[in-house]
Structure 1
Amino acid sequence: MPLNLSNLGFSIKLLFSGYLIVIAIGYGVAAIQILFTHGMADGQFGLSIEDIVYSYYGNRSGSVLENKLTGSMKMNAPDAERFKIIQWVRDGGDPEVFARSIKPIFEQRCISCHNAQSAGLPDFTQFENIRQRAQSDQGATFASLTRVSHIHLFGIAFIFMFVGLIFSLASGVPTRLKGAAIIMPYLFLILDITSWWLTKLNPNFALLVILGGAGMAMAFLFMLVVSMYEMWILPRKLPFPDRRNALLRS
């Protein structure tokens, strides 16, 4: 009898199922994290094309500080303090005014996260880093895109290698459909990463970012549902001899 998900031993099914469930939870947490970062770029909860444009191309009508204070960082300071910083930026970002009335706000509201020990975040203990972000918002930097791109390419490729390996043992999926489902996450991953760079250069490519992410999610959901169905539900519908053989493999 050929090896497939329905006749795997009980222990292997638990191993595969545990992995798939943890990855599914991780996917859900990642989606929530995106909503609280990119999804707040325009100041409104929920992911939109404008959020993608502001995150990668930037909102070039204003500074990084102003856009963050009216977007993803809006909840980290009361309105009066946020408006005070925004007004300081619009007035030219004078260093003396900063030292006198703006620096205490940064020390109370920002420095706990934005310091030299925080990886990936600007160090706001240095005035030069604040001054740079008081200029026009150019979106993600090429350095940050390079860092995030290589992390996603390596990490997500490994995730889908194991998900695809489990799904490849499915017996109730036509070969062509199975092959398409296995290769699609990699194609959508490349589309997703490439679209970040394209959107950085031209905001008209922002829709591709959403399509790439949605394509990976749908491919994963399809492989997850089929794999779990064939491991735990399909064996109960098999003829008795096949069901007995599956139990013997446990």
Structure 2
Amino acid sequence: MPLNLSNLGFSIKMLFSGYLVVIAIGYGVAVMQVLFTHGMADGKFGLSIEDIVYSYYGNRSGSVLESKLNGSMKNNAPDSERFKIIQWVRDGGDAKVYDKEIKPIIELRCIMCHNSEAAGLPDFTQFEHIHQRAQSDQGATFASLARVSHIHLFGIAFIFMFVGLIFALASGVPGKLKGAAIVMPYVFLLLDITSWWLTKLNPNFALLVILGGGGMAMAFVFMWVVSMYEMWILPGKLPFPDRRNALTRS
């Protein structure tokens, strides 16, 4: 009898299922993280084209600091203090005004996270770092894009390699559809990563970011559902001899 998901031994099914469940939870947490970071770039919850543009191309009519205060950092300070910082930015970011009026707010609201010990976050104990972000918002830097791109390319490729390996044992999916489902996450991953760089150069490519991420998600859900169905539900619908073989393999 050919080896497939429905006639795997119980231990192997538990191994595969445990992996798929943990990966699904991780995928859901990753979506939440996107919603709370990129999804707040325009100050409104939920991912939109504007969020993508602001995250990668930037809001070049304003500064990074202003965009963050109206977006993902909006809930970290009362409106009166946020508006005071924004007005300081729009007035040119004078150092003397900063020391007198803005620095106490920064120390109270921001330094707890933005300090020299916080990896990946700008150090707001240094005026130069704050002043730099008071300039025109140019979106993601090429250095940050390179760093995040190589992490996603390696990490997500490994995830889909194992998900695809499990799905490859499905018996109820036509060969061409199975092959397409296995390769599509890699196609959409490359589209997603490439669209970050293209959107950095031109905001008209922002839609490709959503298409790339959405395509990966759909491929993942399809392979996940089919794999779990064939491991745990399909064996109960098999003719008795096949069902007995599926249940007795170990």
1:162 corresponds to which letter in structure 2? Answer: F
2:96 aligned partner: 96
Q: Partners of 1:241 and 1:147 in 2: how far apart?
A: 53
1:61 aligned partner: 61
How far apart are residue 117 of structure 1 and its match? 1.6
Q: Partners of 2:43 and 2:147 in 1: how far apart?
A: 26
Give percent identity, aligned residues only.
Answer: 86
How far apart are residue 120 of structure 1 and its match? 1.4
Within a 5 Å distance, the mapping from 1:130-209 to structure 2 comes to: 130-209=130-209
Q: Partners of 1:50 and 1:70 in 2: how far apart?
A: 13
2:20 corresponds to which letter in structure 1? Answer: L
Which deviates more from structure 2 when the two are superposed, residues 24-33 or residues 208-217? Answer: 24-33
Cα-to-partner distance string for 1:174-220 (whole Å, 9 max, x where unaligned): 00000000000000000000000000000000000000000000000
Query: RMSD in angstroms over aligned alpha carbons?
Result: 0.6
TM-score (norm 1): 0.99
Which secondary structure state, in structure 1, belongs to the residue aligned with residue 60 of structure 2?
Answer: coil
TM-score (norm 2): 0.99
Name structure 2 gaps, 5 residues minimum: none
Which secondary structure state, in structure 2, belongs to the residue aligned with residue 135 of structure 1?
Answer: coil
2:129 aligned partner: 129
1:15 corresponds to which letter in structure 2? Answer: L
Q: Partners of 2:27 and 2:229 in 1: how far apart?
A: 19
Q: Partners of 1:214 and 1:245 in 2: how far apart?
A: 38
Q: Partners of 1:223 and 1:138 in 2: how far apart?
A: 38
Which secondary structure state, in structure 1, belongs to the residue aligned with residue 233 of structure 2?
Answer: helix
Cα-to-partner distance string for 1:10-49 (whole Å, 9 max, x where unaligned): 1110110111011111111111111111111011111100
1:132 corresponds to which letter in structure 2? Answer: Q
How far apart are residue 104 of structure 1 and its match? 1.1
Q: Partners of 1:118 and 1:188 in 2: how far apart?
A: 33
How far apart are residue 152 of structure 1 and its match? 0.4
Within a 5 Å distance, the mapping from 1:203-242 to structure 2 comes to: 203-242=203-242
How far apart are residue 5 of structure 1 and its match? 0.1
Within a 5 Å distance, the mapping from 1:34-49 to structure 2 comes to: 34-49=34-49
1:7 aligned partner: 7
Cα-to-partner distance string for 1:133-170 (whole Å, 9 max, x where unaligned): 00000000001101100000000000000000000000
Q: Partners of 1:150 and 1:114 in 2: how far apart?
A: 25
How far apart are residue 246 of structure 1 and its match? 1.2
2:191 corresponds to which letter in structure 1? Answer: L
Moved over 2 A (4+): none
Q: Partners of 1:120 and 1:55 in 2: how far apart?
A: 16
Cα-to-partner distance string for 1:42-77 (whole Å, 9 max, x where unaligned): 111111000000000000010111111011110000
Q: Partners of 1:215 and 1:135 in 2: how far apart?
A: 35
2:78 corresponds to which letter in structure 1? Answer: P
2:27 corresponds to which letter in structure 1? Answer: Y
Report the count of equivalent residues: 250
